[in-house]
A and B are shown apart, each in its own frame.
Chain A
Amino acid sequence: MPASSGEQRDIGARSRALGVIVWSAFLAAAMATMVCFALLDPQAIAAGEAPHWWTGRLRVYAVGFFFFWLIGLLAATLCWQLATAPRREP
Chain B
Amino acid sequence: MSACNQRAAGDSLYLAEAKVYPREVSGRFARLRTLSVWVLLGIFYLLPWLQWNGRQAVLFDLPARKFFILGLVFWPQDFIFLTWLLIIAALALFFFTAIGGRLWCGYACPQTVWTETFLWMERFAEGNRGARLKLDQAPWSAAKIGRKALKQFLWIAFALWTGFTFVGFFTPIRTLAGEVMGFALGPWETFWIIFYGFATYGNAGYLREQVCKYMCPYARFQSAMFDRDTLVITYDEQRGEPRGARRRGTDARAQGKGDCIDCTLCVQVCPTGIDIRKGLQIECIACAACIDVCDDVMDKMGSPRGLIRYTTTHALEHRPTRILRPRTLIYGAILGLLMVGFVLAVALRSPVSLDVIRDRNVLFKLTDDGNVDNVYTIRILNKSEHPQRFVLEARGASPLTLIAKQTEYQVPSGAVYSLPLRVRRVAYEPLGAETIVFTLRSLDDPAVHTETEARFLAPTR
Contacts and interface: CB of A to CB of B under 8 A. Distances in A.
B8 A8 contact: yes
A2 B20 CA distance: 11
A3 B63 contact: no
Contacts, number: 71
A8 B18 contact: yes
A38 to B, nearest CB: 4
Interface in B1-40: 2-4, 6, 8, 12-19, 21
Interface residues of A, number: 28
Contact of A57 (B6, B63, B192): B63
A15 interface: yes
A27 to B, nearest CB: 8
Given A57-B62, A62-B191, A11 B15 contact: yes
B214 interface: yes
Given A3-B136, A11-B13, A58 B62 contact: yes
A45 to B, nearest CB: 14
Interface in B347-388: none
Given A39-B76, A41-B76, A58-B62, A4 B14 contact: no
B133 interface: yes
| Residue among B79, B133, B191 with most chain A CB within 10 A | B79
A11 B63 contact: no
Interface residues of B, number: 30
Contacts of A83: none
Interface string B115-156: 000000000000000000100110000000000000000000
B221 interface: no
A39 B79 contact: yes
* 6 closest cross-chain pairs (CB), A and B: A6-B3, A38-B79, A3-B136, A16-B13, A6-B4, A11-B16
Interface of B: 2-4, 6, 8, 12-19, 21, 62-63, 65, 76, 79, 82, 133, 136-137, 186, 188, 191-192, 214-215, 217
